[in-house]
Amino acid sequence: MAKMNLLQAINSALISSMEQDERVMVFGEDVGHFGGVFRATSNLQEKFGKGRCFNTPLTEQGIIGFANGLAAQGSVPIAEIQFGDYIFPAFDQIVNETAKWRYRSGGQFSCGTLTIRTPYGGGIAGGHYHSQSPEAFFAHIPGMKVVIPRNPYQAKGLLLSSVRDDNPVLFMEPKKIYRASVGEVPETDYELLLGKADVVKEGTDITLLAWGAQVEVVEKAAMMAEKDSISCEIIDLQSILPWDVETVCESVYKTNRLLINHEAPLTGGFASEIAATIQQECFLYLEAPIARVCGLDTPYPLAHEKEYMPDHLKTYEAIKRTLDY
């Protein structure tokens, strides 16, 4: 075990996968010699050479198109998009190519080996072009997997699984806690199951569901609620697509209440999908409407960032409303 922050854990996972499989290649804007603008790819070029870790020209469309071809050839690309906000020039390549390659070729070819890493989320005074949480767009693409870790331990294990999973995975990293989130991480290779949620804390009165940096936020709200003798169960969804309906249902059978928190705007956010499924599966168990504490239906603001955020206070208020229903 070693103490690592989230970035170091990602770096460690990248090293592990590159050591273990020489088909793995890491590339993107500034990821080479410089090690990426957040330093997630530090030392990879030195260790593995320019052929396996390299800078690309500044074109997201090109990066993912190239990665798709490389994956179809049988290599194992790990492509970085510098900010989640800049993934959209590659949207066509992801939606129509990455995700459909296997399907359109009847399984002859695929981009299954591809992993796309990208930092996402707010809380860094980044305004609307350095703060977005676009997971719901990608959760609407059959053929993709979408994974989001909340801390260094999860990050390393989930990234290693994402790289080895035989489906294309979009791995979204909560950049707000890149350095702030520190924890014990095994230096050895390990994997965490994709498609599996993690019960962070058990409780009996309400289930709080979040992912990425928002897990900390709901933990803080839960601490406030505990003072009012409300016992919260906290689940980190971890995999957005496909997501772990079973774990969430098991929890709701027990607590009879569900609150979902995400930073992305409310309308069409992934909480909508979860709420629809849970009311279908757990209708007779629910004692209150499923609560959603999300970003506003506006672009991500700058001066009003604090007001926009689905923070612990908004979550705490929603917990109380749900219990008082």
Partner 1 sequence: MQNKSNKLPQERNHLSGVEINHKVNLIENGLIDIPMLQLLDEHGKETNPKATPDIAEGLANKILTSMEYTRLLDERMIGSQRQGRISFYLACKGEEAAIVGSAAALSDDDMIMSQYREQGALVFRGYKTEQFMNQMFSNQLDPNKGRQMPIHYGDKALNFMTISSPLGTQIPQASGYAYGQKMAGKEAITICYFGEGAASEGDFHAGLNMAAVLNCPAIFFCRNNGYAISTPTEEQFAGDGIASRGIGYGVRTIRVDGNDVLAVFAATKLAREIALKEACPVLIEAMTYRLAAHSTSDDPSGYRSKDEEAKWQQKDPIERFKKWLDGKKWLNEPALEAYKSNAREEILAALKKAEQVPVNPLEDIIEDVYDTPPWHLKKQLSELQQHVAKYPQHYPKTSGR
Residue numbers at the binding site for ligand TPP (CB under 6 A) = 29, 58, 60, 82, 86, 89
Nearer to ligand TPP, 80 or 198 (CB): 80
3-state secondary structure of 278: helix
Helix, strand, coil percent values for the chain (each to nearest 5): 40, 20, 40
Among 106, 142, 303, 324, binds partner 1 (CB under 8 A): 303
Among 20, 103, 307, 325, binds partner 1 (CB under 8 A): 307
Nearer to ligand TPP, 58 or 223 (CB): 58
**Which residue of this chain has its Cβ atom nearest to ligand TPP in the complex?**
86
Nearer to partner 1, 35 or 174 (CB): 35
Among 23, 69, 88, 183, binds partner 1 (CB under 8 A): 88
Our finding on whether 228 is near partner 1 (CB under 8 A) is no
Cβ 83 to ligand TPP shortest distance, Å: 6
Rounded to whole angstroms, the Cα distance separating 179 from 10 reads 11
Among 6, 10, 16, 29, binds partner 1 (CB under 8 A): 29
Clarify whether 262 is annotated catalytic.
no
Amino acid at 286: L
Q: How far is CA 79 from CA 15, 73, 100, 114, 118, in A?
A: 14, 15, 18, 8, 9
Cβ 264 to partner 1 shortest distance, Å: 14
Among 199, 286, 296, 323, binds partner 1 (CB under 8 A): 296
Full 3-state SS string of 184-203: EECCCCCCCCCCCCEEEECC
Q: Centre a 10 Å sphere on the Cβ of residue 80 and count the other Cβ atoms it contains.
A: 28
Rounded to whole angstroms, the Cα distance separating 100 from 106 reads 10
Query: Which class for 229: exposed (0-12), middle (13-18), buried (19 or more C-beta within 10 A)?
Result: exposed
Q: Are 139 and 240 in contact (CB under 8 A)?
A: yes
Our finding on whether 69 is near partner 1 (CB under 8 A) is no
Cβ 137 to ligand TPP shortest distance, Å: 16
Among 66, 69, 86, 186, binds partner 1 (CB under 8 A): 86
Amino acid at 223: M
Q: Which residues contact 89 (CB under 8 A, 6 or more apart)?
A: 59, 60, 61
Q: Tokens representing 219?
A: 């933990």
Chain centre distance of CA 80: 14
Half-sphere exposure of 105 (CA within 13 A, CB side): 14
Q: Are 260 and 209 in contact (CB under 8 A)?
A: yes
Q: Which of 146, 136, 84, 87 is nearest to 115 (CA)?
A: 146
Binds 117: which of ligand TPP, partner 1, none (CB < 5-8 Å by kind): none
Catalytic entry in 29, 97, 130, 233: 130
Give residue for tokens 């489906």: 167
Our finding on whether 66 is near partner 1 (CB under 8 A) is no
Nearer to partner 1, 3 or 179 (CB): 179
Clarify whether 287 is annotated catalytic.
no
Cβ 89 to ligand TPP shortest distance, Å: 6
Cβ 182 to partner 1 shortest distance, Å: 21
The region of 26-34, 69-77, 105-113, 178-186 touching partner 1 under the rule CB under 8 A is: 26-34
- Positions that interact with partner 1 (CB under 8 A): 29-30, 32-35, 37, 54-55, 57-62, 85-86, 88-89, 125-130, 266-267, 296-299, 301-304, 306-308, 311, 313-314, 317
Active site residues: 60, 130
